[in-house]
Structure 1
Amino acid sequence: MLIKFALMINLAKDIHSLTEFKRNTTEFLQQIKKTKHPLVLTVNGKAELVVQDAESYQELLEAAELVETLKGIKLGLEQMQRGEGKKAEDFFNELFNKIDNPQ
């Protein structure tokens, strides 16, 4: 899985009111597809929504999944360095015993 995601918000071009977005939806969608930058939409001057293209959103989900995976690996390595956990052989022996002898 190759992740090429870069979330970039241009404060001058990517923050707009929801009303402006409604009036110019087609133009904004073309901008999103061209730049791959999400748009921040405001209501009464406050950020309320983020709109982005589906491909960039999928890349964001994959990046988040990768981060969670790396955090899990880091935690496992830290536990291993502290002498916590089990050897893989012991774990699998216990697992297969549970499968072969359900209670």
Structure 2
Amino acid sequence: MFNSSDIHTVTDFSRKPAEHIKRLMESKRPEILTVNGKAAVVVQDAETYERMAALAEYAESIQNIRQALTEEGRPLDQFTKEFEAKNGINR
């Protein structure tokens, strides 16, 4: 997913932010910023971030739907009777 051209030091980023921002906007690839040789943060352009966030939200929705489909339900009349009894509702 990442290659060596995506890895930069925080110092380099802070010295040349415009250069990095231009590269981020053009490549649409995130950059890993390092501190003392270790990955510290990931930066990316806003458009790519928004697309990634939307995809994550969509994936979460699909996961919730799949979970709901695997759960066992009960007939509506059974639920209604139990709900009414639990809440003291008489009809």
Match of 1:43? Answer: 35
For residue 6 of structure 2, what is the aligned residue in structure 1?
14
* 1:13 match: secondary structure: helix
Letter in 1 for 2:58: L
Following superposition, the deviation at residue 73 of structure 1 comes to 1.0
TM-score of the two chains, using structure 2 as the length reference:
0.78
- Is residue 85 from structure 1 mapped to residue 81 from structure 2 by the alignment? no
Whole-Å Cα distance in 2 between the matches of residues 13 and 63 of structure 1? Answer: 25
Give 4+ residue runs of structure 1 displaced > 3 Å after superposition.
Answer: none
**What is the CA–CA distance in structure 2 between the aligned matches of 1:17 and 1:48, rounded to whole Å?**
9
Structure with higher helix content? 2
- Unmatched tracts of structure 2, length 5 or more: none
| TM superposition score normalised by structure 1 | 0.69
Partner of residue 60, structure 1: 52
* Greater RCO structure (CA 8 Å; 6+ sep): 1
Bigger Rg over Cα: 2
Partner of 2:63: 71
Q: Which residue of 2 aligns with 1:28?
A: 20
Deviation at 1:40, TM superposition (A): 0.5
Cα distance per residue 1:39-92 (max 9 Å; x no partner): 11000111111111111111111011011101011111211xxxx1245xx39x
**Structure 1: 5+ residue stretches without partners:** 1-7
Q: Which residue of 2 aligns with 1:5?
A: none
Counterpart amino acid of 2:32? V
